[in-house]
Chain A
Amino acid sequence: MNKKIQRSLAVVSAAALVFGVAAAQTSANAAPKTVTIAYQGPLSGGEASTGTDEQNAVKYAIKLFNAKNKATYNVKLVSIDDQGDPAVAGTVAPGIGKNKAILGVVGPAYSGATIASLPFYKAGGLVLISPSATRVSLTDSASPDFGGPVFHRVVGKDDLQGPALAKYATQGVSNAKVFVFDDQSSYAVPLAGYVKGGLAKVAGATVVGTDSVPNTTTDFSPTIAKIKTSGATVVIYTGYYSQAAVFIKQLRDSGSKAIFAGGDGVFNQEFPKLAGAAAEESRVTGVGGLAGVSAALEADYKKQMGVSSGVYSVESLDAANILLQGILKGNTTRAKMLAWVKAYNGKSITGNTIKFSANGDISYGLFAGFTTKNGVLVNTGIVK
């Protein structure tokens, strides 16, 4: 933990102690009720930065809630570290499923880990609201991966993002020749499929080549050779930002001027930072960050948490807020919380209405287009 946060936490807890004592003296039986929710995602291992960013947003929501309702509720957070890995998720989920103190989970962050955890959460009737698990099959009742009735998500599915990415990548390019490649992850491969589906509907666009590159690759020269041979004018990558940064540098160094585009995995301000000038004019689809929603909110977040908000912070905040509002309404058993989420009808901090379909999807799923300008991904509006 950051020293600053530690210090401020110490101040907060000391203050809580003082005020707590004062409150106890005035009203004898007004002890706040302690309730527990959990966050599940990668908190260690290679994907830890995603999980840490999401969990920070959940912590922020809880901090605000506890400060506002300190007389009635004290919400505690349990961190579930699945490393984003289905194998790890399968070992941590049984305990969480059985721990009835946990009323609801923000997460799991990743689709693969979600699938591995689901049997235990279904058995325990534990409601899940994922900020970032986008695999389509999770809310497809005909699929063995189907997460109902416990699984919900506040993020748009890949079958909405794929076409949006295809459109955004080829915007203003006539007769686009597109090269699509993925990082072999369970996120990237299906998304690449939806991108290709989306490209079929873009007038004049053709897919001239594909590749599938392990997410540990640092030498992209074979892929670049293929891109050059294919004569592609647009290159779409459906993996994550760190690889995208390595790739785009090598692509530009090879002399290629093809447009580079990526999905929400690439959507991270670290991408232009890592890739430097090579990332300029790259097109990325993603969900707007906290700063895009409100600069004041981002400033308060930074003040309270000591760090800037990261990926999926809006979704994580929304997911945490749904559970917290449920607690405030007195839904302090798992069954009541599940019913609360199913019937939820409220607003996202973005202003969109959150209302889950029978299978756990939200009704919207708008993806914004971002373009790198002077080292920053700049929001160019919703892709239509």
Chain B
Amino acid sequence: MLPSEKRSLVRFLAIYLLSTLLLFALASWIFYTASKHDIIARQKESLAYEADRIVSQIRALHRSTADTLFYPQSSIVKSAIYDLDGNYIFGTLPQEQTLKNSRKNLMIYYTTAIEPYYLGAAYLLVAAPVQTAPIATLKTYTWWFMAAAAAVFSVLGYVLGRLFTAPMRNSIETMNRFIQDTTHELNTPISTILTNIEMIETFGKHHENSAELQRIAIASETLSRIYDDLTYLNLNHRYHRHILPLDISKLVQERLIYFEAMIHAKGLNVTTHIASHVILEMDKNDAIRLIDNLISNAIKYNRPQGVLRIVLHKEYFSVSDTGSGIAKKDIHTVMQRFKRIENREGGFGIGLDIVLQVVHHYNFDFSIQSQEYHGTEVSIRWQK
């Protein structure tokens, strides 16, 4: 899966799942609350039945002529009778229990009026512990329902996401195929042009048209480099790397010579601080792609007669230019493949993508700092 497709899919799934699950959570919560009330209402119904039973026993007690009146007791519920002013008369509930504070958790209460006032009781309060087992079962079912809904909607979201990103995936694949074909077709003519320029230079036939020839040489080298970049991308790391100790100092010097004609054509002032014997364990082609792309970008996006500053240190490598810089809003997207901040300069927008691939492969640290209209500095720190 392409990184951009993956990103879009993740974003879509995040929004889709979040909104769907939120809706389901709300529905589940309403269902849970309603069902819980229903369970408690059923428990209250049994309390009402017990209350009726106790009232009829109280009625019998009132009529009794016995010296001792035994208050009706139940193993299921506790109860108490209260007079017309709400004062506790008697019962199995504690005396501190009033009619008004019967709202405690884990207990359900039922109050019924008694008319006429048998034993002087105007109210009967009946209480029983809430039966938590059915509520716990309901809670478990609700969670399972939520989990099942999350699973179903995740699969559905993934399928939908893949369907939605299919056009984007097709476009990118078409572009990649086009680049692959173009690269293949470019190889022979570029090699021919470069070989012939070298032959003209070797046999000294270039005196009369040296400026034109140099321009052809620069253009051909640019084409050659684009070809190398595209080949690198097409291979997509599937080639065998020769990881060897590589003298980066020497390589940077060599690549500067390679870019000499382009630098000269743009009239750039080059400042270099290249530490000697900076040795890194890496593949030479990776190192060339990294250095070339950074220098090439700095030349391409520099202003004419600008400054190109290259610093190589044991810990980092940085390339800075005095070009138009990058707007703050674009700084995070500039590394994406096919992303081009400026359209007036040529290219495919793959340079920094290649740089990032190399950086990630070797676990380097990449940083970019830019000030619009002043310039850009790109740094690679060898050790994170």
| Pair from one complex | no
